[in-house]
């Protein structure tokens, strides 16, 4: 966006702040301070202000931030002011849970295509979307204006699938498989390797004697 490069961690925190602001909005609270946001997000107030500072001046000194305005700014900053189409690849247990997770639709992410290779599943509905086979993947991504892919297939199939997605012009991938994916620079890739997170917990448990 701006001239400066925005730290990944900053964007992640902005994503957290939006949820709190939405809550305040629903409660009818109209003003909030950086220290209140900080408390809710479990960070410090200076960090909140610095995070916002990357994008402009949204507050009033001595007063704080107007909740509705700040919320609107953050939605714009994060690109959440519009619908984005998502393809889900793999309708296993995890994939099914993701397909039905309301937290995606709440923020404008519409899973409009679900793919699986199991003939038993093809043709059956998962939520409001009918599961389809892999054929014509590339065409569907183009025709249906899909920007984001969620991969929840076994690790061994993930890289091949990612290659096809990239060739089809996908812009972002959320990878739930434990496979490390290689994609071109321009593709936005986030990994969500759950066993890796458990290993991280395990490490800390083994070294609690700090």
**Residues interacting with DNA, by CB under 7 A?**
5, 7-10, 33-35, 43-47, 49-50, 52-53, 57-65
Residue whose CB is less far from DNA, 35 or 159: 35
Which residues contact its own copies (rule: CB under 8 A)? 1, 6, 8, 11-12, 14-16, 18-20, 40-42, 77-80, 84, 86, 92-94, 96-98, 100-101, 103-104, 106-109, 147-148, 171-172, 174, 178, 180-182, 186, 188, 190, 192-208
Residue whose CB is less far from DNA, 65 or 71: 65
What kind and span of H or E run contains 151? strand 146-151
Rounded to whole angstroms, what are the CA distances from 86 to 5, 73, 79, 82? 27, 24, 15, 13
167, interface contact from its own copies, DNA, none, CB < 5-8 Å by kind: none
Contact 13, 47 (CB under 8 A): yes
Residue whose CB is less far from DNA, 10 or 159: 10
CA-CA-CA-CA torsion for 162, 167, 168, 172, nearest 10 degrees?
Answer: 50
204, interface contact from DNA, its own copies, none, CB < 5-8 Å by kind: its own copies
Say if strands 64-66 and 31-32 run parallel, antiparallel, or are unpaired.
antiparallel
Contact 192, 150 (CB under 8 A): no
Q: How many CB atoms are closer than 10 A to CB 90?
A: 25
60, interface contact from DNA, its own copies, none, CB < 5-8 Å by kind: DNA
């Amino acid at each position: 966006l701006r001239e400066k490069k925005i730290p990944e961690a900053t964007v992640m925190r902005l994503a957290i702040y939006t949820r709190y602001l939405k809550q305040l909005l629903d409660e009818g609270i109209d003003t909030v301070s950086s220290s209140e946001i900080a408390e809710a997000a479990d960070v410090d107030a200076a960090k909140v202000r610095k995070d916002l500072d990357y994008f402009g001046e949204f507050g009033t000194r001595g007063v704080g931030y107007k909740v509705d305005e700040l919320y609107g700014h953050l939605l714009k900053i994060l690109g959440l002011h519009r619908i984005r189409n998502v393809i889900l690849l793999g309708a296993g247990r995890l994939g099914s849970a993701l397909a039905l997770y309301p937290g995606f639709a709440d923020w404008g992410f519409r899973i409009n295509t679900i793919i699986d290779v199991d003939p038993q599943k093809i043709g059956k509905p998962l939520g409001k979307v009918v599961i389809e086979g892999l054929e014509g993947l590339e065409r569907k991504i183009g025709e249906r204006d899909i920007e984001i892919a969620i991969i929840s297939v076994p690790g061994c199939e993930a890289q091949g699938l990612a290659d096809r997605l990239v060739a089809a012009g996908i812009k972002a991938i959320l990878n739930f498989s434990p496979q490390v994916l290689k994609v071109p620079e321009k593709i936005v890739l986030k990994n969500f390797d759950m066993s890796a997170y458990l290993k991280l917990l395990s490490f800390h448990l083994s070294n609690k004697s700090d």
